[in-house]
Amino acid sequence: MFNHLSKVSIVKVDDEKVDKAVRKAVEMVGGFKNLINEKRSVLIKPNLVWPEKSGTGITTDSRVIEAVTKLVLEYYPKRVVIGEGCGLGYFVREARERDTMINFRVSGTMDVAERLGVDLIDLNKDDKVEVKVPNAFVMKKFRVAKTALDADVRISVPVLKTHSQSTITCSLKNMKGALPGVEKRLTHKLGLERGIVDLNMVIKPHFALVDAIRGMQGIWRHPQDTVKMDLILAGSDPVAVDSVCSRLMGFDPSKILYLKLAQEANLGVSDTLKIKVVGEKLENVTRKFLTYFEVMRSRYPSISVIESKACTGCIGEIRNMVGFLENSGLMSQLNDLKVITGSPEVIPEEGEKIIVGKCAEKYKDLGFFVPGCPPHGREIALAVCRKFNLDEQVLLETIKQVE
Does 223 sit behind a cis peptide bond, omega within 30 degrees of 0 on the bond before it?
Answer: yes
CA separation (Å) from 331 to 92, 171, 221, 301, 302? 28, 35, 16, 10, 8
What's residue 91's pLDDT? 46
What integer best gives the mean pLDDT of the chain? Answer: 92
Q: Which residues contact 332 (CB under 8 A, 6 or more apart)?
A: none
DSSP 3-state helix, strand, coil percentages of the chain (rounded to 5)?
40, 25, 35
Collect the ranges in the chain with pLDDT lower than 70.
1-4, 88-98, 402-403
What b-and-e string marks burial along 286-325, b requiring 16 or more CB atoms within 10 Å of the CB? eeebbbbeebbeebbeebbbbbeebbbbbbbbbbbbbbbb
CB 123 within 8 A of CB 148: yes
pLDDT at res. 403: 55
Question: Quick one: DSSP state of residue 34?
Answer: T
Residue 105's contacts (CB-CB under 8 Å, 6 or more residues apart) are: none
The DSSP element (H or E) to which 99 belongs, if any, is none
CA distance 376 to 176: 22
* Cα gap 375→362, rounded to integer Å: 16
The whole model's pTM is what? 0.89
First to last CA, the chain: 49
